Structure 1
Amino acid sequence: MVRPYRDADAEDLWELKRGFERELGTSTGDDAKAETYEGKLDDDYRTEYLDWVEQCVTEQERAVQVSERDGKLAGYVFVLPESLAYIWDAAVLNEIYVRPEFRGSDVADELMEAALAFAREQSLPLDRLVLDVDQKNERAQRFYERWGFENWGEMVARSV
């Protein structure tokens, strides 16, 4: 079952967010990248992240949606609120994550369906749902391809 995030989900969401960040670090890079992602997961980041989630769901309740299985959160999807659509002139899929023990079930598909439904309701400059996915994340690449996502540019980054 997919439903909107609630304040009572904060600790479970934070646990999922940590899993998301740790996997980004370990599965798409070397030890240095893993250390970078792990290093940011401190109490200040937790507080700021959960505050940002609260701001987004206050603006649009379904910006963050969760999937429940066996009495706990199995995964979540975070689509930025419509007010932030001008970041990429489209709806932005910020994060989608499923606990490893629920992968291969229907959780990811249900979350993607919820994300697409939420995106369709937004008034967008371009009728697209976009996201940033690391080319080394083969599992995610296959998932997005199965859902009809196509390459649409490439992001580059540098330190500030």
Structure 2
Amino acid sequence: MVRPVRSGEWEAVRELRLAALRDPVAALAFVESYEEAAARPDAFWRERAEGGSEDRGTWIRQFVAEAADGRWVGTATVLVERPGEGPAPFGEVTEAQTDVVGVYVRPEARGSGLVDALLRTAVEWSWAQEPPVGRVRLFVNEDNGRAEAVYRRSGFVPTGGRADTLGSGEARDLEYELRR
């Protein structure tokens, strides 16, 4: 089952994020390190869960995939971006769009179609925004072929754009988009 997080689920949000950051590909896919995230206080995780929750969040939505036993096995977060409004973490915003970030599926759940369900949910939520957004965007590191294949399979296409989302000084992240 894929669903939005709830504001009180901060401990599960923290646990899943830390698990994602332990993944060998995390250095390519995530902006922060495990050590940075693990050092954050509980208040940070409470605010993060609340900000991305269905009951409190407005411009961020974090979705989680729950196994039959209730364990969280995957996640994806969507950020709404509009020209001249709010934060723009990945450069200037020239049109209403969403960014898909923080995509992660635990190793034991990979190959099950779970990432496809997370992306479908993220895209459906994006298209339901009012006022409407014209595209869903994401970035993938040029060395992360596995993720690139997943995004292409889900209909995302490369734009030719590049970014330095990790702050390394090199634009190694490829921009992909899905348009209405």
TM-score per shorter chain, which class?
0.7 to 0.9
Question: In the alignment, is residue 59 of structure 1 matched against residue 66 of structure 2?
Answer: no
**1:147 shift after superposition:** 1.1
Which amino acid in 1 is paired with 2:68?
Answer: D
User: By percentage of residues, which structure has more helix?
Assistant: 1
Q: Measured at CA, do residues 18 and 2 of structure 1 come closer, stay the same or move farther in structure 2, by a change above 3 Å?
A: same
1:17 — aligned with what? 17
Alignment partners' CA distance in 2, 1:28 and 1:5: 22
Which amino acid in 1 is paired with 2:38?
Answer: D
2:76 — aligned with what? 77
Q: How does 1:106-117 map to 2 (within 5 A)?
A: 106-117=113-124
Alignment partners' CA distance in 1, 2:41 and 2:137: 25
The 8 Å contact of residues 79 and 91 in structure 1, kept in 2 or not, is answered as yes
Alignment partners' CA distance in 1, 2:112 and 2:78: 21
Per-residue Cα deviation, 1:106-139 (whole angstroms, up to 9, x for no partner): 2111111100100001246861111121111111
The 8 Å contact of residues 18 and 38 in structure 2, kept in 1 or not, is answered as no
Which amino acid in 2 is paired with 1:70?
Answer: A
Alignment partners' CA distance in 1, 2:3 and 2:59: 10
**1:12 shift after superposition:** 2.3
TM-score (norm 2): 0.70
Name the SS for the 1:6 alignment partner: coil
Question: In the alignment, is residue 145 of structure 1 matched against residue 152 of structure 2?
Answer: yes
**1:145 shift after superposition:** 1.1
User: By percentage of residues, which structure has more strand?
Assistant: 2
Query: Share of identical aligned residues, percent?
Result: 26
Per-residue Cα deviation, 1:45-90 (whole angstroms, up to 9, x for no partner): 664244133123213398111111132111111111x3x4443431
Q: Measured at CA, do residues 132 and 50 of structure 1 come closer, stay the same or move farther in structure 2, by a change above 3 Å?
A: farther
Name the SS for the 1:139 alignment partner: helix
The 8 Å contact of residues 75 and 104 in structure 2, kept in 1 or not, is answered as yes
Which amino acid in 2 is paired with 1:22?
Answer: R
Name the SS for the 1:105 alignment partner: coil
Q: In structure 2, list runs of 5 or more residues that go unmatched.
A: 170-180
The 8 Å contact of residues 28 and 134 in structure 1, kept in 2 or not, is answered as no
Alignment partners' CA distance in 2, 1:46 and 1:60: 22
Which amino acid in 1 is paired with 2:118?
Answer: L
Alignment partners' CA distance in 1, 2:168 and 2:132: 27
Alignment partners' CA distance in 2, 1:41 and 1:64: 17
Alignment partners' CA distance in 1, 2:66 and 2:129: 25
- The ranges of structure 1 where at least 4 consecutive aligned residues each deviate by more than 3 angstroms after the TM superposition are 123-126
